[in-house]
Structure 1
Amino acid sequence: MKRIMICALIGATGFGLSACNDSNDDNPTAENQIPGFIQGDIRHTRYDGITDDLLTAGLGASGLGSAIAPAFSDERNPSPRELRRLAIYNNYRALVDTSPGGGYGEFFGPGVGKNTEGMIPGHEYIAYMTVPGSSVPVTVMAQVPDSFDPQSPCMVTAPSSGSRGIYGAIGTAGEWGLKKGCAVVYTDKGSGTGSHNLDTNTAQRIDGTLTAADEPVQFRAELSDAERDEFNALWPNRFAWKHAHSKVNPEADWGRHVLQSIEFGFWALNEQFANDNNVDPITPENTLVIASSVSNGGGASVRAAEQDTKGLIDGVAVSEPNVNPVVDTRLAIKQGSKAPVTRHSRSLLEYTTALAVYQGCANNAPSIRDQAPLNNLNPQNVRDNICNSLANKGLVAGADNDERAEDALRILNEEFGIQPEQNLLAPVHFASKVAQSISMTYANAYGRAGVEDRVCGLSFAATDTAGAVTPFAPEKEAAAFATSNGIPPTAGVDIVYDAADGQPTALPASASPSSNQADYGLDALLCLHSLAMDRNVVDDAPLPGTEAALAKAISQGISEIRATGDLQGKPAVFVTGRADAILPINHTSRPYYGLNQRVEGANSELRYYEVLNAHHLDVLNGFPGIGDRYVPLHHYYFQALDLVWERLTNNTPLPPSQVVRPTPRPDISTPLALANLPVIAPEPAEGDKILLVGDELRIPE
């Protein structure tokens, strides 16, 4: 039985989300029926916009911009309200550069175009849902600002970026939609924070609080008590994580998650306005719906638009979308006078495991090592050891480590089609364990492996300063809902190489059994790369039995997430930074655009804007050496939303696909100005247009 839990108004009383009461039971004869995919209770909370709100959790623009995070009154027992507030703070700042002069408060931010603090009153509905064929709970949420006009309804989708939880897109699609007066619908896409402490059987409720009881939680591993006891005896203090270990390949359903979130949004709107006699039912026919978000969330919205059979979505506006397009071997991608790229559209797992294997050595390349910002975060001895290990296995060539590092860089740029523009940013991403974490999580997810499988000898656990496994600090576990990005290393939990030389060790400090040196557990990373490539990459031999079966399962999982390129003629905009060092553009936005042009032809309304001097993680722009080389892609994402809005409301034509040429500021002490950020041109110069000519997608330099 489904129920609506009416929670106390979050205002001067200070009541938290736990102050909920039953409302009416699900009534099968009611006109506004709760969607059948909703599982359990729906929590409905009203925020007053003074002491708490939808967008900033009561922190306001100044609180989100502060380097001091909100604290808990009891660090081991935070309240739901405290967890929500810290989750919004961390998720907002993870994607948006809030440093002085970087554009926050000037070109984007809660207060821009609104009041000074940008706090938005309204209603929030949150619940679990499932998709057909899966019992794993997916979190869904609808936010309805008080400025929503039921006579002119609009809705924006905000699936989480990366593997983040339900508030993962609050600062991107959430901010734009709420400030526009639209309902915003969110989903964690079956990834999210959901961590399961296998020792204590503790997991997170929907509000982030912890429980070991048998009650609805975000995720628990599919293990019996006996199986869990057996696992813990061998591998104590380990964690299962929802995206990696749910055994359902959640990405295969990201489009459905977004479509269901829209249907939930329509239910919430009609529930809220049902007693207003002046309001007609709010339906897809009378509501403007833009599918949006960034990165993984953007990819999810693209897949939703492809799969939309009910006419739920009117337009698409996404930034740096994680799309894995169907491989069109006829298509070539040619940038300026460079040689055409024909091996495009590689899967995320192929190029990411390649980065995990080779980038640690490439960080040593003389052509980039002294220019790359924050490269000093990668210890010199580890860089040397990785190069040595790769050379000993015949995977890089060179008489010394300088030459080997240059060869590793060549392999990434030439053999794996990764743009040279990403080379300076890749070292800081390696230091942040981006490719390493994606490689482990997605290999597990695509292959539908469980935590008990410990793919490539890897697991998740807290570690001490030497890298040894240790119990997770209770205060860190209590905060994990608010501090986790959904993909370890995160929130104090690291990737552990159980097969490391000596003892299980945090991956960055691991010595490989084959080398007996601290080479970042290269054996494990090569194992992941071999699974992605479906062959042993060291000796180019077929994989043995169990590994071959897992590689086959991974290949099947990847086939399930391939995008078709058919947006059904919907007006759509992609904006992507050329220097994207996480989702290389020759495998994502560029080939998707080319595929779409071939699939939809003259019916296509997709526009692709490639932004120079922009990359994937704007938050890095607050650092010297990065903020003076790059501009915020976030600014152009908001332009993309504005352009699609104008196309849908005023029939304004979308500008042609083009290269956009912003100018970085001279140093990070100089604030960004309009002169740095030219608009997406309604009529770009011929030399800036992106064109498909025959079988060749031509991208200007």
Structure 2
Amino acid sequence: MRMAFPGPGLRPGLFVYNNKQGTIMKRIMLCALIGATGLTLSACKDNPPFNEIPDFIQGDISQTSYDGITDDLLTAGLGASGLASAPGPAFADPLNPTAAELRRLAIYNNYRALVDTAPGGGYGTFFGPQVNASGEGLIAGDEFIAYMSVPGTDVPVTVMAQVPDSFDPDRPCMVTAPSSGSRGIYGAIGTAGEWGLKKGCAVVYTDKGTGTGSHNLATNTAQRIDGTLTSDVEPVQFRADLTDGQRADFDSAWPDRFAWKHAHSRANPEADWGQHVLQSIEFGFYVLNEKFGRELGNGETLLTIKPKNTVVIASSVSNGGGSSVRAAEQDTKGLIDGVAVSEPNVNPQVDRSFTIRQGEGPEITEHSRSLLDYTTALAVYQGCANQAPAIRDDAPLNATFNPPAIGENICNSLANKGLVSGATLDDRATDALRILNEDFGIQPEQNLLAPVHFGLAVAQSISMTYANAYGRAGVEDRVCELSLAATDSAGAVTQLAPAAEAALFSASNGIPPSAGVNIVYDGADGQPTNLPASASPSTNQLDYGLDALLCLRSLAQGSDAVSGADLQGSDAELATAIAEGIAEVRASGDLQGKPTVFVTGRADAILPINHTSRPYFGLNQRVEGKKSNLRYYEILNAHHLDVLNGFPGVADRYVPLHHYYFQALDLVWANLTEKQALPPSQVVRTVPRGAITTPLAEVNLPAINPAPDAGDRIVFTDNQVRIPE
């Protein structure tokens, strides 16, 4: 069943007057009649106990009920086996998928993007819809979805609340599920969504101003909130801020390009990620009180589910985890009780008064680099480092994803620019790897996984998207001569196939290259070309468009990446804007004493731990001291993308961090509901399974220890975060 609630000011049953004062007086009279509220008239006026649509909601709220048999909240009717099966669900009409079909495929793709569903990797044993559930794990309930906005920008942000039928209004609970990465509204369905729904909690989601949100500048087509396409003038997830004339001029000069919400909204959405999460919680309380609040018979509903009587855990993974951390820091209304996050993308405020040290290794002083800083370094140097003898043949899928000839060209181009040293390919690649490990503080444990991430264009896509976002650039600015478009087998720009565009809502991860839309280097030798196939003008080599990557690196460091000279003109202005954008997303380290758990894999090759979880732990100790309730669990043999664990060469070396994320949620839940103490910060020593044919067992995944040995404890002492080897 689907229905729509009218937006603010239109909801039936509310006392609506032309005179606002009349509304206030009517409610004061009601307050006086409701002795159970215990409110004075003045308090009632300032804090009315009535349920109201939050003023940040834009337009209607759509509600859909799922029976848990033919369709459901968690698996879109696919069940646990359907989520693990390939291929994914198809559309009856590929050119005109229905909203329900788009939702089903979006849930399928988003679940599988974050959770390893391959046999033997823990799915169905340690995690999955069917674990500790009946049958296939389908969950009945209601789903509410709407647009919202934050002060300072009118770019729509999607918010959603799922309320399972198992929700108990007498013991209410809520879990936040902001999307990971740049994913859309279902981006945390398999992580915070699964845990919360199976717990009987309401789960509140937000796309954080990211998501697909693609705008075809040739056709003016964009996605509605349900993923269906439209070129009409109506609410959509995103359209570039261009007049029809400007769009036509851009399309004439640069045909068949796309604008993308995260990159081109001019909003720097990350600066508001914490606010997005807090607003999603407020939306969740509105929805819960609409369903369960006490109706007074006069069009008003009395608030009965409130922060004071509801357990609220801020959660999610990666960017979603960082968003919940920022929400906890910014929570001035007491909305959040505890925090449980995995591999959070946090950019801690830089505090070099403390250092980080792992075992007897070197002290790390240059920690807390920004995401754009270390990611542009990976984009520039990793393509060469992939060919270093120490990792070249041992890194899983390296040869598959990274043609050696391109890697050699990158090394040669870097050497000719004086950025790496050495006379041979081995020497140059080894120096590139040294630069990443020593100069940029990236853990050696990530070296074996970094090549596959480079082959998947992770650092390259993050560098392009976030440089635009931090600098609040528009699509027409083509930062570093990079744009977004479909490309053919030779790398030339082409039109995106209509069926591919129709499926973007479901297939895209929100940060191209994704679902057929690629990063195009408009300044490549010859013609605009897919970035990996680009030859740089300064080198005349097929070196992955190194000139463009060096341009992004220059903007990140604020000086020319090759010469070190100051940037000039518009480049200097953009670099300054980017630096200001980065400053806006820095985390304070003040969790206000909330019980908090971080779990992070030591081998994380996307968010290096010396710039994220480790320094945040240190900063929190500095800021909160003895009042801190943060626990940091560093998981050995775990990394950022569990989905890779389904591949040979990865499966034998690594364990699912997802399993420990669910433990983190269990621990915070037990702390909040049973007053169970959080275990001390520690290193968790997992045991890889050794072969993809050997299923994971409990021996591989030791639990977080309530009383770890001294040699396993992570501590902050003598101005240093000390991590056991």
Q: Which TM-score band applies after superposition, normalised by the shorter structure?
A: over 0.9
Match of 2:488 in 1: 464
Q: 1:84-127 CA deviation, whole Å, 9 max, x = no partner?
A: 00000000000000000000000000010001200000000000
| Residue 696 in structure 1 maps to residue 720 in structure 2 | yes
1:505 aligned residue (523, 529, 538) = 529
Equivalences for 1:283-362 in 2 at 5 Å?
Answer: 283-362=306-385
User: Which residue of the partner structure matches residue 452 of structure 1?
Assistant: 476
1:171 matched to which residue of 2?
190
The residue correspondences of 1:190-589 to structure 2 (distance < 5 A) are 190-274=209-293, 281-376=304-399, 377-589=401-613
3-state DSSP class of the match of 2:12? strand
State which of 15, 24, 39 in structure 1 corresponds to 2:12.
Answer: 24
Kept in 2: contact 1:8–1:46 (CA 8 A): no
3-state SS of the aligned residue for 1:24? coil
The answer (yes or no) to whether the contact 2:294–2:304 under 8 Å persists in 1 is no
CA apart distance, 1:32: 1.3
Deviations 1:209-235 (A, max 9, x none): 000000000000000011001101100
Q: Mark the CA change 1:114 to 1:527 in structure 2 (over 3 Å): closer, same or farther.
A: same
In structure 1, how many angstroms separate the alpha carbons of the residues matched to 2:460 and 2:81? 34
Output the CA distance in 2 between the equivalents of 1:457 and 1:81: 38
User: 2:293, 2:352 → 1: CA distance?
Assistant: 52
Match of 1:143 among 157, 162, 182: 162
Q: 2:304 & 2:211 partners in 1: Cα distance?
A: 32
Structure 2 length normalisation: TM-score? 0.93
Distance 1:666 1:495 in 2: 37
Please tell me whether the aligned partners of residues 255 and 300 of structure 1 are also in contact (alpha carbons under 8 angstroms). Answer: yes
1:84 matches 2:103: yes
AA of the residue aligned to 2:707:
E
Whole-Å separation in 2 of the counterparts to 1:25 and 1:611: 52
1:569-617 per-residue CA deviation (whole Å, 9 max, x = no partner) reads 0000000000000000000000000000110001000000000000000
For residues 484-525 of structure 1, the C-alpha deviation after alignment (integer angstroms, 9 at most, x for no partner) is 000000010000000000000000000000011100000000
CA distance 1:52–1:279, shift in 2 (3 Å): farther
Q: Distance in 2 between matches of 1:36 and 1:146?
A: 27
Query: In 2, are the aligned partners of 1:575 and 1:609 still within 8 Å (CA)?
Result: yes
Q: C-alpha distance in 1, partners of 2:278/2:718?
A: 34
| Amino acid aligned to 1:663 | V
Larger deviation, residues 516-525 vs 279-288? 279-288
Code of the residue aligned with 1:290 in structure 2: it is: I
- Name the CA distance, whole Å, in 1 between partners of 2:677 and 2:281: 26
Amino acid at match of 1:130: S
Deviation at 1:380, TM superposition (A): 1.1
Structure 1 contact 38–130 (Cα < 8 Å) conserved: yes
Q: CA deviation at 1:694?
A: 1.7
- Paired position in structure 2 for 1:3: none
Contact residue 51 and residue 302 of structure 2 kept, 8 A: no
Q: CA deviation at 1:280?
A: 6.5
Q: Look up the SS of the partner of 1:635 in the other structure.
A: helix
The 1-side partners of 2:559 and 2:205 are apart by 39
Structure 1 residue 110 corresponds to structure 2 residue 134:
no
| 8 Å CA contact retained: 1:565, 1:599 | yes
- 2:48 is the counterpart of 1:48: no
CA RMSD of aligned residues (A): 1.4
> Identity across aligned pairs (percent)?
74
Structure 1 residue identity aligned to 2:501: E
Structure number with bigger Rg: 2
Aligned partner of 1:109: which letter? G
Could you tell me how far apart the structure 1 residues matched to 2:548 and 2:136 are?
47
Name the CA distance, whole Å, in 2 between partners of 1:280 and 1:384: 65
* Partners of 1:86 and 1:436 in 2: CA distance: 26
3-state SS in 2 of match to 1:628: coil
- Give unpaired runs (5+ residues) of structure 2: 17-22, 28-49
| 1:159–1:300 Cα contact (<8 Å) kept | yes
Q: Please tell me whether residue 683 in structure 1 is matched to residue 678 in structure 2.
A: no
Structure 2 residue 637 is the aligned partner of structure 1 residue 637: no
> Is the contact made by 1:26 and 1:34 (CA closer than 8 Å) also made in structure 2?
no
Aligned to 1:159: 178
Match of 1:7 among 2, 7, 14: 2
Give the equivalent residue in structure 2 for 1:615.
Answer: 639
Distance 2:303 2:430 in 1: 65
SS at match of 2:503: helix
Give the CA deviation at 1:7.
Answer: 1.0
Q: Is residue 2:150 matched to residue 1:131? A: yes
Residue of structure 1 in register with 2:88 after alignment: 69
Contact 1:39 1:128 in 2 (8 A): yes
Kindly tell me the number of residue pairs found equivalent between the two proteins: 685
Q: Distance in 2 between matches of 1:296 and 1:91?
A: 14
Whole-angstrom distance in 2 between the partners of 1:152 and 1:501: 63
Q: Corresponding residue for 1:12?
A: none
Letter in 2 for 1:70: P
Q: Secondary structure at the match of 1:442?
A: helix
Residue pair 2:223, 2:238 contacting (<8 A) in 1 also: yes
Native 8 Å contact 1:325 1:595 kept in 2: yes
Deviation at 1:618, TM superposition (A): 0.1
SS in 1 for 2:106: helix
Letter in 2 for 1:696: Q
* Structure 1 residue 67: Cα displacement: 1.8
Q: Distance in 1 between matches of 2:590 and 2:527?
A: 50
Q: Contact conserved, 2:114 with 2:641, CA < 8 A, in 1?
A: yes
How far apart, in 2, do the equivalents of 1:26 and 1:488 lie?
A: 44
Q: Distance in 2 between matches of 1:588 and 1:25?
A: 48
Partner amino acid, structure 1, of 2:131:
V
Contact 1:122 1:144 in 2 (8 A): yes
Aligned to 2:58: 39
CA distance in 2, matches of 1:115, 1:366: 50
| CA deviation after TM superposition for structure 1 residue 628, in Å | 0.5
Equivalent residue of 2:73, what SS? coil
Alpha-carbon separation, structure 2, partners of 1:8 and 1:498? 45
Instruction: State the alpha-carbon separation in 2 of the partners of residues 550 and 197 from structure 1.
Output: 25
Q: 1:442-466 deviations in whole A, cap 9, x for unaligned? A: 0000000000000000000000011
Contact 1:150 1:279 in 2 (8 A): no
In structure 2, how many angstroms separate the alpha carbons of the residues matched to 1:254 and 1:274?
29
> Contact 2:3–2:62 at 8 Å: present in 1 too?
no
- In the alignment, the residues of structure 2 paired with residue 233 and residue 601 of structure 1 have an alpha-carbon distance, to the nearest angstrom, of 58
Identify if the C-alpha distance between structure 1 residues 26 and 577 changes in structure 2 by more than 3 Å, giving closer, same or farther: farther
Output the CA distance in 2 between the equivalents of 1:245 and 1:622: 34
Residues in 1 aligned to 2:165 and 2:688: alpha-carbon distance in whole angstroms: 38
Write the letter of the residue equivalent to 1:181.
Answer: G
Any gaps of 5 or more consecutive residues in structure 1? 1-5, 10-16
Q: Is the 8 A contact 1:273 1:279 kept in 2?
A: no
